[in-house]
Amino acid sequence: MKRILVGQILLVICCIFYLVWWYRGYRPGVVVSRTGGVNGVLLLATAAFGVAGLICSLTRVQATVEYKIGPMLIVIGGIALYFALLLITRFAFRRVVTTELFLIVGWIMLEMTVINRLHAAEILTEGLVLQDATVWKNFPEQEIIPENNASELYFEEINIEGFVKKLEMLYPDTRYVNRLMTHSWGQTVVRFYDPDGNLIEVGTPMR
C-alpha cells in the first residue's frame, strides 16, 4: 500500500517537471531548444519520475474479491474515450490534437486500475484486510480447522465505530461473537469470525 502511495506522489512530481518543461519550451515569442540544456534535464526528470511512479502505482495487491471493473473493460473504455476526445477536439473545437490528450487518457486508465485493485483488496481501516483461505491455504501445509477458537487475532483501532461501519458494508455476512460493546475497564471492542472462521478482535487502544 505504501508503495502505491509513493507511486502516486512520484506521478505528481512528474507532472510538476512536465509543466515546468512545457512552460519553458512553449512560451509565446521565445524560441528555445525543447530537448537540450535545462529543458533536456527537465524532460529526463519527467520521464524518470513518470516511469518510477507508473511501476510503483501498479504494485500488485492481493485481491480478496473479484474486480469491480474488468481490466479489459478499462482498456477498451480508455481507447474509446481517447478517440471520442480526439474527434471532439479535431472537429468540434477545430484544434490540433497533441500528445497531452494521450497522456491524460492514459493517466485516467492508470488511476482506474489502481482504484479497481484497491477495491478488490477490500482494505479496512488501519490496513486490515480479511483474506479468503484460497489466498493462503497452501502455505501452512496442514489441515485448517475453522472456528476452533484456540486463539484470536487482536487489532487496535481508534475509530472503532467507523471500522464496524466499513466492516458491515464490505462484509455484510460477517458472523459476530459479540457486536460493539464496552468493557468495564473502558475499552470498546468487537469480535467476529473472518471468512474462514478465524476469530478476530478489534478494540480501541489501551492507554
For 158-198, write each residue's pLDDT tens digit. 999 999 999 998 888 899 999 999 998 889 999 999 887 88
Is the model more confident about 61 or about 82? 82
Compute the average pLDDT of residues 36-62.
90
Cell of 136: 493462503
pLDDT at 137 over 80: no
Is 139 or 13 the better-scoring residue by pLDDT? 13
* Residue 19: pLDDT over 70: yes
Confidence of residue 117 (pLDDT cuts 50, 70, 90): confident
Stronger pLDDT, 21 or 140, i.e. the higher one: 21
Is this structure's pTM higher than 0.95? no
Q: How far apart are CA 52 and CA 41, in angstroms?
A: 16
- Does residue 189 contact residue 203 with C-beta atoms inside 8 Å? yes
Task: Reply yes or no on whether the pLDDT at 83 is more than 90.
Answer: yes
Query: In this structure, are residues 167 and 174 in contact, taking their beta carbons and an 8 Å threshold?
Result: yes
